[in-house]
A and B are shown apart, each in its own frame.
Chain A
Amino acid sequence: MVQQIKPFFLRYGPLLTTIAIFILAYITGGQMYPAMQKPQVFFNLFINDGSLLLVSIGMTLVILTGGIDLSVGGVLALTSTASAALLRMGVSPYIVIPLMICVGVGFGSMLGWIIQYLKVQPFIATLMGLFFARGMAYIISLTSVTITNDVYKTLALTPIYIPFIPRAYVYPTTLVAPVILLVAIYLSFFTRFGRTIYAMGNNEQSALLMGLSVARTKVAVYAFSGFCSALAGIVFSMSLLAGYGQFATGMELDAIASVVMGGTSLSGGVGNVIGTLFGVLIHGTIVSILQFNGTLSSWWTRIGVGALTLIFIGVQSLFYLKKKPSQGQ
């Protein structure tokens, strides 16, 4: 029995810790602020953190390969600004949305190509991607561009009531992230692509020697991250009905923090997308508690997220040091 429990805990320890912390944080919040017990607050987590969840899903896959994508916030800002600018010019949203997704995928695959074939370190290439995307957003518009398009407004503001729960609703845009989450779960657990990702994260050299298509997978992973960021940009611009180059500053850290909180190891190969969901939920819970408190200022979120990342990196190293003693320095 003990022999079965121990590997189970070593394998799912970080994930279980994350879920436990999320439940604990949520219950604590509910005790402190009774208004937080309403079911709508739970759905608000998805409404408010929809774009963060999207970005984090892409980030999880990238981190699983052992890389990192710092460009997510930039791509988000770029697609939100570009879509807002195009909509203002009178382009149909049915053209704008696919176009923005193409931009995201193209941008991501370009970064992946630079990383894979020109052998630039992932964080340098994507850091440049971040600044480049933000710069492009500013070139499109130096100020915030508001969106008055009717399709966007309908998508952003039509409530969808949740069955069986009274007065609880989400917006159509909220549903994007859970759908992509399901897609990512399918991709990472049930496809060759997913297994190649894990193999690469554990040891790229041996993955290559096994005959796996490392190069193609790496480019595809960054392209997927770009796709997620572009979707996040559209969701973000719909929820705020505006596009601006300064949107989502520091979102890279929020996403990395959520991924790390979800039990994914930064050295790659360990973790999964489901954990990321709970990482994002923890982030959302912290933000809602801060909002319910009302006296704490916004910068505490930044400091809190930084501190939490650190704690979870610590928790992870506790778990993985036992598991892989040979890998640590």
Chain B
Amino acid sequence: MWKRIRESRLLWPFVAWIIILAFDAIVEPGFFRLGIIEDPVYGKHLYGNLVDIFNNGAPLMLVAIGMTLVIATGGVDLSVGAVIAISAAMGAVLINPALGNQLITNDILTKNATNTPLPLIILADLAAGTLCGLWNGILVSRAKIQPMVATLILMVAGRGIAQLITNGQIMTIYYTPYFWFGNGYILGLPVSIYIVAVVFLLAWLLVRKTAIGLFVESVGINAKSTYYSGINEQNVKLLAYTFCGFCGAIAGLILSSYVHSADGNNNGLNYELDAILAVVMGGTLMSGGRFSMFASVIGAVVIWTFTVTVYSLGVPANALLAAKAVLVMVVILLYSDYTRRFMNRLFERRGTQHGTAD
């Protein structure tokens, strides 16, 4: 029993979460307070720090789901932040009644109106992000460029593209139905939670109820032998990157809806770091192979709880970067072979664990 718990990949993320929550409970007694508030637009809904963690962390959870698949194939996607920015820019441009080089007057800009019907906006958002993912996938699987370099191109060029779309402006959105994704409530819970749940369910069905999950793992463990066993490893990689782009697109939609604006430079800034952190916390190795999307989602929740905690302590947002970088490093080292061997040796010496399976 103890062994099963110790080897479960959900253990460490949960332990980390509980530690952070316990810290919150001590430092800030009001942290867990939940209440019901009457909102003039969205009706009665829950509010409180815990709800906020899930609501604000939703984009990260989505990106983490996509990133898990990419990392499981042995790659990495550094462009998720840029994809978020592109998707957000796409939405903002289509909503905004003044397109392109038209002179934007404040009068037009602040109108609660849209240039394009909402379903079309969502489709365009998703299409833009998925296209970015497809592009990454083609570069990695067909052009055989290292994943890190291939996605780095979009990480930098993508922000340029996002600025190109919004013509270099920070676009504020005044179209209220668009806000529903980031601020709306269904049955008292934020809409974004439902979106995450749906995407997670779809992804889970995709990888656990079909053979795709197995293919992804085998590509991550050994791409060449996968190819020789008759699996089209190129298409598996393509699918993983495209799916990651799709997740980034939804994240961009929620994020831009939540902050009511699209900013090519700052939307989804440093999300690639957070997403990698979430996946690594979830126990998926950077070298690929076995993965667990649920553990990654938990990892994302832990990161967001950590972020909210640090904010509530009054640390500026940018300084948080350094702390997070150290956290990633520690977690990666904890999961490394080196540490694992060390831990196993430690347990063996105590005589509690004989013949541990690696």
Residues on the B chain within 8 Å of A307, using CB: 157
Residues on the A chain within 8 Å of B338, using CB: 118-119
A120, A131, A142, A250, most chain B CB atoms within 10 A? A131
Please report which residues of chain B, range 261-299, place their CB below 8 angstroms from some CB of chain A when the two chains form the complex.
264, 270, 273, 276, 286-287
B324 located at the interface, meaning its Cβ lies under 8 Å from any Cβ of chain A in the complex: yes
Residues on the A chain within 8 Å of B148, using CB: 68, 123
A37 located at the interface, meaning its Cβ lies under 8 Å from any Cβ of chain B in the complex: no
What's the Cα separation between A131 and B145 when bound, in Å? Answer: 24
B153, B270, B286, most chain A CB atoms within 10 A? B153
A53 located at the interface, meaning its Cβ lies under 8 Å from any Cβ of chain B in the complex: no
**For the complex, would chain A's binding face be called helix, strand, loop or mixed by DSSP majority?**
helix
Q: Assess whether B144 is in contact with A128, with CB atoms less than 8 Å apart.
A: no
Residues on the A chain within 8 Å of B153, using CB: 253, 306, 309-310
With contacts defined as CB atoms under 8 Å apart, how many contacts are there between chain A and chain B in the complex?
Answer: 124
Q: Assess whether B333 is in contact with A124, with CB atoms less than 8 Å apart.
A: no
One digit per residue, 1 when the CB lies within 8 angstroms of any chain B CB and 0 when it does not, for chain A 119-158 equals 1110111011111101110110010000000000000000
A70, A256, A299, A310, most chain B CB atoms within 10 A? A299
Q: Assess whether A131 is in contact with B321, with CB atoms less than 8 Å apart.
A: yes
Residues on the A chain within 8 Å of B270, using CB: 131
Please report which residues of chain A, range 226-251, place their CB below 8 angstroms from some CB of chain B when the two chains form the complex.
245, 250
Among A119, A120, A297, A301, point to the contact of B168 (Cβ < 8 A). Answer: A297
Q: Assess whether B316 is in contact with A120, with CB atoms less than 8 Å apart.
A: no
Q: Knowing A132-B325, A302-B159, A329-B224 touch, does A313 contact B336 (C-beta < 8 A)?
A: no
A114 located at the interface, meaning its Cβ lies under 8 Å from any Cβ of chain B in the complex: yes
Taking the nearest CB of chain A, how far is it from the CB of B313, in angstroms? 14
Q: Assess whether B332 is in contact with A124, with CB atoms less than 8 Å apart.
A: yes
Taking the nearest CB of chain B, how far is it from the CB of A266, in angstroms? 6
A223 located at the interface, meaning its Cβ lies under 8 Å from any Cβ of chain B in the complex: no
Taking the nearest CB of chain B, how far is it from the CB of A247, in angstroms? 13
A44 located at the interface, meaning its Cβ lies under 8 Å from any Cβ of chain B in the complex: no
A252 located at the interface, meaning its Cβ lies under 8 Å from any Cβ of chain B in the complex: yes
CB-nearest residue of chain B to A245: B318
Residues on the B chain within 8 Å of A302, using CB: 156-157, 159-160
Q: Assess whether B326 is in contact with A132, with CB atoms less than 8 Å apart.
A: yes
Q: Assess whether A114 is in contact with B329, with CB atoms less than 8 Å apart.
A: yes
A17 located at the interface, meaning its Cβ lies under 8 Å from any Cβ of chain B in the complex: no
Q: Assess whether B76 is in contact with A138, with CB atoms less than 8 Å apart.
A: no
CB-nearest residue of chain B to A117: B338
Taking the nearest CB of chain B, how far is it from the CB of A299, in angstroms? 4
Taking the nearest CB of chain B, how far is it from the CB of A327, in angstroms? 11
Residues on the B chain within 8 Å of A267, using CB: 146
Residues on the B chain within 8 Å of A306, using CB: 153-154, 156-157, 160
What's the Cα separation between A300 and B270 when bound, in Å? Answer: 22
Residues on the A chain within 8 Å of B276, using CB: 124, 127
One digit per residue, 1 when the CB lies within 8 angstroms of any chain A CB and 0 when it does not, for chain B 56-78 equals 00000000000000000000101
A119, A135, A309, most chain B CB atoms within 10 A? A135
What's the Cα separation between A245 and B321 when bound, in Å? Answer: 11
What's the Cα separation between A142 and B148 when bound, in Å? Answer: 30
A-B contact pairs, 5 of them (CB 8 A): A68-B149, A131-B270, A299-B164, A313-B145, A313-B149
Given contacts A297-B168, A301-B160, 8 further A-B contacts (CB under 8 A): A70-B152, A123-B148, A128-B332, A252-B152, A253-B155, A298-B168, A313-B149, A329-B224
A residues in contact (CB < 8 Å) with B: 68, 70, 114, 118-121, 123-125, 127-132, 134-136, 138-139, 142, 245, 250, 252-253, 256, 266-267, 297-303, 305-307, 309-310, 313-314, 317, 328-329
